[in-house]
């Protein structure tokens, strides 16, 4: 059957690419390298819908284009295959999550392959594969056996710390972390320590350490959740209540890298919004740490961190986080019930909810008083959930005259508000400005902000009650999850002390267990493992790593995925260096991207990688929104009325599966078969002929029945049409509504392209004739436009340009090799199957278009032979005349005079002046 039939050619070329490893990248090449990476997917059971491939199509276009430009391109794909959904399914069904994950991955690979992506599948990685997570565990052990030396500003192996201990004890060591967790000892004492004592002394210095930490504990799921997995006090998955609980947890000391993570943002090409989100998350601030004494509690001291020490005389109360370690000690018997009630309520709110809620005013008075260290005034000590235990010291000095939240709190509870500058007007709200001179502030009265701040910090340090300090909002990353389906943490316990599993014993493989939920005694699921001990005698850590562990370094493993001796070979890493283009969703701005940068900086500190940053350029693709359809059921009946007549009845709008709707026309028979309760449905039709549905643009989701599977569209229109259409929808970074109806237009364009090579849908008929100037102009406009747009990642405008080019060549009845051969190359990044087919028919080796050369743009083909000039009288255009492109002003003036223009439009007046704007217009002044 003549004509373009994508189903006949696409599977053929996909099989060819697979059999011939067409897209296999080489770790050794004289070509320049280019590394394109997609954020790899979690393989859910639902498979892909049309919104998922958007970024993959864009990255594949860049990949194919860069190959045409002569680059050795690495474009891999793998799967982030550990995760909570597979575990929850395992709990419900008893099926091992490995089996579910394996089946889901097979489905993803089938769908991705059907879209013609040029992945090097020989480099596929799966984070749940022991051969992969062996190296995730290995990196964890490196963190466990390292500390951060503030003197060298980098991580170092623990052996350098131990050498310092042996020489000078703990004196003079400047290390990242909480100084209060560490012990002071001399070199002599160090020598007398037992092995256990030495390990206990070292533990607070490690970059991977265990500590009692407040976490989001979800009893219903039996696990700790990240802030991203909690919404409105409930687990995002399952909707179970979540509470804040103090638990021993493994942490990674990302805070050691806070400043370097900030500085590195200035040297990468990322969207400014993403960089700003990371800056805010890291939250650098410069201020002071101040110690407040507590009345009646000689040993109790409250440390606060403030960026406005200049306002300390206006501190009229203290607020502690409900989790603060001193709350129990400072709560008086009269306040006990109220305080406990408040603490219990706080446990049911996530930190994210507490930070976001700026309207609710709540708190509880402990009954105790602190002392303002400068004024000597007694000030009440409260607890409130807007203070977080993990930020700063978990306590704030409240200055209601200078902070709006403190102001609202003080007004609500009737606490004092003291102005501290002569410029403050605090009748209705706080004044946080730094203007005016200080008042009510004994030591600094009359001073300005800078002088006051400097004097107070000097006084704090002189009195030994505080110091200047730089603080960060970011907190150390909780690294344990009480789940089964994750990387086992390679730690065992001897005499109650944590030891790292020997590297030669990696991977520590997940053991088989009978159920995938916590034990009856509340231990994580790994507590169910039988006889699971290190060397047959030592208990393993029962937590597993969080989902982000394996994704924090996967881009490195792609460089050298089969290396059994190293997480990435040195030569491979030095060749590929870092990712040149990274595409993925903006939702990963402060999670995955921040953790990946942290791990990379750590590996660089140890000399294990060479690049400064993992991802040089980042693009966040927007979301494709679903186009929902609705049917209208007459209330109390099983009769459905068409859109045009619904206002004549009392109806309820119901979502309907968009896959049984075409151009908003419902397939009523398919609707009856869709769900049992609709089997007896009756319809009031438009013109007694068709049922017209309503529609609305919404997020694509199964619950709205607006999910469109790419499989259906590939079967109907072809993968090339789907690729082109997704790019044609609009700018890559923007949100775009999906409308399947538009697919037919793109499919028609591909058929028109086919006919340039197969006139009238007949046999292949490309001639060797010379091209006309018009044909060369159309081609070279396209060469220039496609190149410019891909370099700018403006894919929608490229598709438009290609459509215009094909229309122009169709009008010129072009069937010439000299035009159609480069055209096939231009279209190949977007419609690779069709391009391969045409390339082979043009006489080239099968599958070789990927190694072709991008056509050279030649400016001379765009130069016009003639130019149309508007000709005006006193600025008013009267007619258009055509002149040679190279005509001089004198020649143009002479031609206008000879044309009779003045006789026609000058009304007998003489021309005073001829103004010729080259290439633009002629104006005759009369």
How many C-beta atoms lie closer than 10 Å to residue 760's C-beta?
9
Residues 491 and 540: beta-carbon distance below 8 Å: yes
How many C-beta atoms lie closer than 10 Å to residue 489's C-beta?
28
Instruction: Tokens for 566, please give them.
Output: 């190293």
Confidence band of 434 (pLDDT split at 50, 70, 90)? very high
Mean pLDDT, the chain, as a whole number? 93
Q: What is the rounded CA–CA span in Å between residue 262 and residue 259?
A: 5
How far CA 550 is from CA of 206, 397, 553, 574, in Å, comes to 21, 41, 6, 21
Residues 775 and 816: beta-carbon distance below 8 Å: yes
Instruction: Tokens for 275, please give them.
Output: 């960089």
- For residues 783 and 355, the model is more confident at 783
Q: Phi and psi dihedrals of 672, rounded to 5? A: -65, -30
Q: Phi and psi dihedrals of 429, rounded to 5? A: -160, 170
Please compute the mean of the pLDDT values over residues 339-364 and round it to a whole number: 86
Confidence band of 446 (pLDDT split at 50, 70, 90)? very high
How many C-beta atoms lie closer than 10 Å to residue 74's C-beta?
26
Least confident span in 349-358, 424-433, 573-582, 844-853: 349-358
Residue 765 has pLDDT above 80, yes or no: yes
Q: Phi and psi dihedrals of 638, rounded to 5? A: -115, 35
Q: What is the rounded CA–CA span in Å between residue 360 and residue 142?
A: 44
Which residues are part of a known binding site? 702
How far CA 513 is from CA of 82, 361, 499, 510, 519, in Å, comes to 17, 47, 24, 9, 11
Please compute the mean of the pLDDT values over residues 702-728 and round it to a whole number: 94
Instruction: Return the closest-CA partner of residue 317 out of 358, 360, 375.
Output: 375
Please state at what angle helix 97-114 crosses helix 710-717, rounded to 10 degrees: 30
Q: Where are the alpha helices (DSSP H) in 519-622?
A: 548-551, 554-557, 570-576, 592-605
DSSP 3-state of 724 = helix
How far CA 306 is from CA of 285, 291, 309, in Å, comes to 9, 11, 6
| pLDDT given for residue 520 in this prediction | 75
Confidence band of 205 (pLDDT split at 50, 70, 90)? very high
**Chain centroid to CA 737: how far?**
21
Q: What is the rounded CA–CA span in Å between residue 385 and residue 366?
A: 14
Residue 521 has pLDDT above 80, yes or no: no
Confidence band of 239 (pLDDT split at 50, 70, 90)? confident
| pLDDT given for residue 1 in this prediction | 52
Digit-coded pLDDT (tens) for 21-73: 999 999 999 999 999 999 999 998 888 889 899 999 999 999 999 999 999 99
Confidence band of 169 (pLDDT split at 50, 70, 90)? very high
How far CA 802 is from CA of 9, 739, 774, 829, in Å, comes to 21, 21, 16, 12
Q: What is the rounded CA–CA span in Å between residue 15 and residue 18?
A: 5
The β-bridge relationship of strands 618-620 and 581-584 is: parallel
The β-bridge relationship of strands 72-74 and 33-38 is: parallel
How far CA 44 is from CA of 87, 100, 494, in Å, comes to 12, 9, 39
Question: Which residues are 876's β-sheet partners?
Answer: 873
| pLDDT given for residue 863 in this prediction | 79
Which residues are part of a known binding site for ATP? 702
Please compute the mean of the pLDDT values over residues 576-595 and round it to a whole number: 92
Instruction: Tokens for 97, please give them.
Output: 């999550």
| pLDDT given for residue 335 in this prediction | 97
Least confident span in 250-264, 471-485, 512-526, 787-801: 512-526
| pLDDT given for residue 302 in this prediction | 96
Residue 232 has pLDDT above 90, yes or no: no
Helix (H) or strand (E) holding 739: none
- Kindly state the greatest CA–CA separation across the chain: 117
Please compute the mean of the pLDDT values over residues 206-225 and round it to a whole number: 84
Quote the pTM value. Answer: 0.86
Residue 223 has pLDDT above 80, yes or no: no
């Amino acid at each position: 059957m003549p004509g373009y039939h994508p189903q006949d050619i696409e599977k053929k070329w996909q099989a060819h690419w697979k059999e011939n490893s067409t897209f296999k990248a080489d770790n050794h090449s004289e070509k320049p390298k280019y590394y394109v990476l997609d954020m790899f997917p979690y393989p859910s059971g639902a498979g892909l819908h049309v919104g998922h491939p958007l970024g993959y199509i864009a990255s594949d276009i860049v990949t194919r284009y860069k190959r045409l430009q002569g680059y050795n391109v690495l474009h891999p794909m793998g799967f982030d295959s550990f995760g909570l959904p597979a575990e929850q399914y395992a709990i419900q069904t008893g099926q091992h999550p490995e089996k579910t994950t394996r089946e889901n991955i097979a489905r993803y690979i089938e769908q991705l392959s059907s879209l013609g992506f040029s992945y090097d599948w020989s480099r596929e990685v799966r984070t749940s594969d022991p051969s992969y997570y062996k190296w995730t565990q290995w990196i964890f052990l490196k963190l466990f056996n390292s500390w951060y030396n503030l003197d060298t500003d980098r991580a170092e192996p623990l052996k350098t710390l131990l050498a310092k201990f042996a020489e000078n004890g703990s004196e003079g060591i400047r290390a990242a972390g909480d100084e209060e967790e560490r012990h002071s000892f001399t070199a002599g004492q160090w020598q007398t320590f037992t092995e256990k004592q030495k390990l206990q002394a070292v533990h607070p210095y490690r970059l991977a350490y265990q500590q009692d930490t407040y976490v989001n504990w979800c009893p219903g799921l039996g696990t700790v959740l990240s802030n991203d997995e909690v919404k409105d006090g409930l687990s995002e998955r399952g909707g179970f209540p979540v509470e804040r609980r103090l638990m021993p947890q493994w942490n990674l000391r990302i805070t050691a890298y806070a400043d370097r993570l900030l500085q590195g943002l200035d040297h990468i090409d990322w969207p400014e919004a993403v960089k700003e989100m990371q800056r805010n998350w890291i939250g650098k601030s410069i201020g002071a740490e101040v110690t407040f004494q507590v009345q009646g509690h000689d040993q109790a001291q409250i440390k606060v961190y403030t960026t406005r020490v200049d306002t300390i005389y206006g501190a009229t109360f203290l607020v502690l986080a409900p989790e603060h370690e001193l709350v129990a000690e400072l709560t008086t018997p009269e306040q006990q019930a109220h305080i406990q009630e408040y603490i219990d309520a706080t446990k049911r709110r996530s930190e994210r909810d507490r930070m976001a809620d700026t309207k609710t005013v709540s708190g509880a008075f402990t009954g105790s008083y602190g002392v303002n260290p400068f004024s000597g005034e007694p000030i009440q000590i409260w607890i409130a959930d807007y203070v977080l235990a993990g930020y700063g010291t978990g306590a704030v000095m409240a200055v209601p005259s200078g902070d709006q939240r403190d102001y609202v709190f003080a007004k609500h509870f009737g606490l004092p508000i003291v102005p501290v500058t002569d410029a403050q007007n605090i009748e209705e709200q706080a004044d946080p400005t730094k203007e005016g001179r200080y008042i009510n502030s004994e030591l600094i009265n009359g001073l300005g902000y800078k002088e006051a701040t400097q004097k107070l910090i000097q006084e704090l340090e002189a009195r030994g009650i505080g110091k200047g300090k730089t603080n960060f909002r970011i907190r150390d990353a909780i690294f344990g999850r009480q789940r089964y389906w994750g990387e086992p943490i390679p730690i065992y316990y001897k005499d109650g002390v944590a030891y790292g599993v020997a590297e030669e014993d990696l991977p520590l493989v997940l053991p088989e267990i009978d159920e995938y939920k916590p034990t009856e005694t509340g231990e994580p699921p790994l507590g169910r493992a039988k006889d699971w001990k290190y060397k047959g005698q030592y208990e393993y850590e029962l937590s597993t790593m969080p989902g982000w562990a394996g994704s924090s370094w996967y881009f490195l493993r792609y460089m050298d995925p089969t290396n059994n001796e190293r997480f990435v070979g040195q030569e491979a890493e030095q060749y590929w260096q870092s990712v040149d283009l990274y595409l993925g969703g903006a939702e990963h701005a402060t999670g995955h991207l921040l953790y990946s940068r942290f791990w990379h900086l750590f590996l660089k500190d140890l000399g294990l990688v060479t690049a400064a940053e993992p991802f040089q350029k980042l693009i966040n693709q927007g979301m494709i929104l679903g186009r929902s359809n609705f049917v209208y059921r007459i209330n109390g009946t099983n009769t459905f009325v068409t859109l045009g007549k619904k206002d004549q009845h009392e109806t309820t709008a119901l979502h309907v599966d968009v896959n049984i709707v075409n151009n908003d026309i419902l397939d009523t028979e398919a609707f009856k078969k869709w769900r049992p309760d609709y089997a007896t449905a009756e319809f009031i039709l438009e013109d007694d002929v068709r049922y017209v549905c309503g529609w609305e643009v919404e997020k694509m989701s199964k619950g709205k029945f607006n999910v469109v599977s790419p499989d259906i569209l590939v079967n109907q229109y072809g993968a090339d049409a789907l690729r082109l259409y997704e790019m044609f929808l609009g700018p890559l970074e923007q949100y775009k509504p999906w409308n399947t109806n538009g697919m037919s237009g793109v499919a028609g364009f591909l058929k028109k392209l086919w006919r340039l090579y197969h006139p009238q849908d007949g046999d292949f008929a490309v001639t060797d004739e010379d091209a006309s100037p018009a044909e060369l102009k159309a081609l070279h406009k396209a060469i220039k436009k496609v190149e410019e747009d891909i370099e700018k990642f403006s894919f929608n405008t490229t598709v438009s340009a290609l459509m215009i080019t094909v229309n122009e060549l169709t009008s010129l009845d072009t069937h010439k090799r000299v035009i159609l051969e480069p055209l096939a190359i231009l279209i190949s990044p977007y419609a690779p199957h069709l391009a391969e087919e045409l390339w082979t028919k043009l006489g080239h080796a099968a599958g070789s278009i990927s190694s072709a050369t991008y056509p050279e743009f030649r400016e001379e083909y765009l130069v016009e032979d003639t130019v149309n000039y508007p000709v005006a009288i006193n600025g008013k255009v009267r007619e258009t005349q055509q002149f040679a492109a190279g005509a001089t002003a004198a020649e143009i003036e002479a031609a206008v005079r000879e044309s009779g223009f003045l006789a026609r439009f000058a009304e007998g007046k003489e021309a005073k002046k001829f103004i010729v704007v080259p290439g633009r217009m002629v104006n005759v002044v009369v």
